[in-house]
Amino acid sequence: MRPSRLSPLLVVLAVLSACEAGSLPPGAAPGADAGADPQDAQAPEDAQAPEDVAPSPQDAAAPPADAAVPPEDAAAPPEDAAVEPDAAMEPDADGTPCEAGEPCAPILIDRLPYSDARDTRQAPSAVWDRYACAPSTDESGGEFVYQLDLTQRGSLTVAVDDVGGDGRDVDVHLLSALDPDACIARDNASLTRVVEPGRYFIVVDTWVNSSGEAFPGAYTLSVGFVAAATGACAVVPQDLKMVWSTCDASVDCYEATDPSTGQLARYLRTPATGPVVKEAHLVTVEEDFPNTWPSAARDQIDRHYALSAGRTGYTMSRTEAWAPAGEGGSRYGQGSTGSKVPVEAEAWYVNMYWRSRPAAGTRMIITNPANGRAVVAAAGYETGPGSNTAIGGVTEEIHHYLGTTHRGALTLGFAEDQTLPYGPITCD
């Protein structure tokens, strides 16, 4: 039975009241239905422009189908990353029993990665008509509400697949249980956000066009999460001899006589803060090509994206090509070392225009001073960029997690703890 439309404010208050009482109930959370129709092309969403408030442009694009939900053994967070609250069915505001998927009985996401298949034609409610993330987009069709409880900081990826096409058009929205009306993010296909511990609602809602016509239908929801490791982010001050011919005033560079050569050299003081470029991808040790290396800038690059997402658990819309050929006689994706790179290190690598490249795998801490996010990066696999106005380069995965783009300002330093795992880290 579909209850009458309620005020979102009343529903939010009811949900928050249930949270405070410790009785916010989950509904059933079945796995994906193997009988769902395969996806076909569909057009209705073209009439509405995505209005995500994402800090990164990649979020608007869906990740590759085979990478949207990383394999469980690679992406599953620690056991305490998601917690199951006490379950108790509460009545709806009009006294009728709650159905699974209503705000008063959200479907519990009890495992990560997570997948669930449903059809908004059977949605039990239509509470949210519009969201603060896109107030001009009509979402007054039926919706299903999911609940996710996280005890760790990390990267959350949510994707929805409008199974079968045929005019079906549902969108995904990420809300905080503390203020559901605020809306963290929304998209018609996929979104990725760095989130803090807490309770979140994921709402799969039906889009309605300007003529009032709704486009409900079958969908598959996929949710992935990569928890940030916790550790000491202390760095060791070090002056790096650079290949630069001159020092640029925009970075902390100085000139001094190299005691080993007696010649003037340029040094960069680290930890250093300054522009950091976005680097291309390197071929990993787990990839084979007919001629050892890619034959073009995007030769089998989608396979590389899927491998990286599956092994690291980090899901995003990767777009960068292979490292260009011809630099020092290199092939596509080869880089300056001439060797292939371990998969995890490739996803999180950092380079600088150092005169003496550090040992492969040396840990560096990359921090965004604007928001405090940090990543443990792998140094020693690549050299560059050549410009003396950039202190280094990092992968698109690092820029994405830190919330920066090409030439964004970051802080680079050598980690004191050289045993830290590569990837996102919450600093003690």
Claim to verify: residue 328 and residue 282 sit in the same structural domain:
yes
Candidate from 85-99, 175-189, 303-317, 382-396 with smallest mean pLDDT: 85-99
Q: Is 2 a domain residue?
A: no
Claim to verify: residue 160 and residue 303 sit in the same structural domain:
no
Residue 83 has pLDDT above 80, yes or no: no
Residue 273 has pLDDT above 50, yes or no: yes
Q: Is 39 a domain residue?
A: yes
Give the pLDDT score at 347: 98
Residue 8 has pLDDT above 90, yes or no: no
Pick the last residue of a domain from 172, 203, 227.
227
Claim to verify: residue 418 and residue 379 sit in the same structural domain:
yes
Claim to verify: residue 372 and residue 357 sit in the same structural domain:
yes
Give the pLDDT score at 328: 62
Claim to verify: residue 209 and residue 247 sit in the same structural domain:
no
Q: Is 276 a domain residue?
A: yes
Claim to verify: residue 37 and residue 176 sit in the same structural domain:
yes
Domain count, the chain: 2
Contacts of 154 by beta carbon, 8 Å cutoff, 6+ apart:
77, 81, 194, 195, 225, 226, 227, 228, 424
| 336 φ/ψ sector (left φ>0, alpha ψ -120 to 50, else beta) | alpha
- For tokens 């590389």, what's the residue? 304
More confident residue, 190 or 303: 303
Half-sphere exposure of 373 (CA within 13 A, CB side): 23
Residue 380 has pLDDT above 90, yes or no: yes
Mean pLDDT across the stretch 50-69?
39
Claim to verify: residue 44 and residue 79 sit in the same structural domain:
yes
Element at 75 (helix H, strand E): helix 72-75
**Domain range enclosing 55:** 8-227
Q: Domain with 44 in it: what CATH number?
A: 2.60.120.380
Claim to verify: residue 126 and residue 147 sit in the same structural domain:
yes
More confident residue, 79 or 115: 115
Q: Is 180 a domain residue?
A: yes
Compute the distance between CA of residue 212 and CA of residue 239 in angstroms, rounded to an integer.
Answer: 64
Q: Domain with 306 in it: what CATH number?
A: 2.40.40.10
Q: Is 3 a domain residue?
A: no
Give the pLDDT score at 119: 95
For 216-245, how does the pLDDT look when each residue is reduced to its tens digit (9 = 90+)?
Answer: 999 999 999 999 999 999 999 999 999 999
For 303-342, how does the pLDDT look when each residue is reduced to its tens digit (9 = 90+)?
Answer: 999 999 999 999 888 999 999 998 766 899 998 889 999 9
CA distances 190 to 61, 160, 280, 335, 382, Å, are 6, 6, 23, 31, 32
Claim to verify: residue 250 and residue 389 sit in the same structural domain:
yes
Mean pLDDT across the stretch 101-124?
95
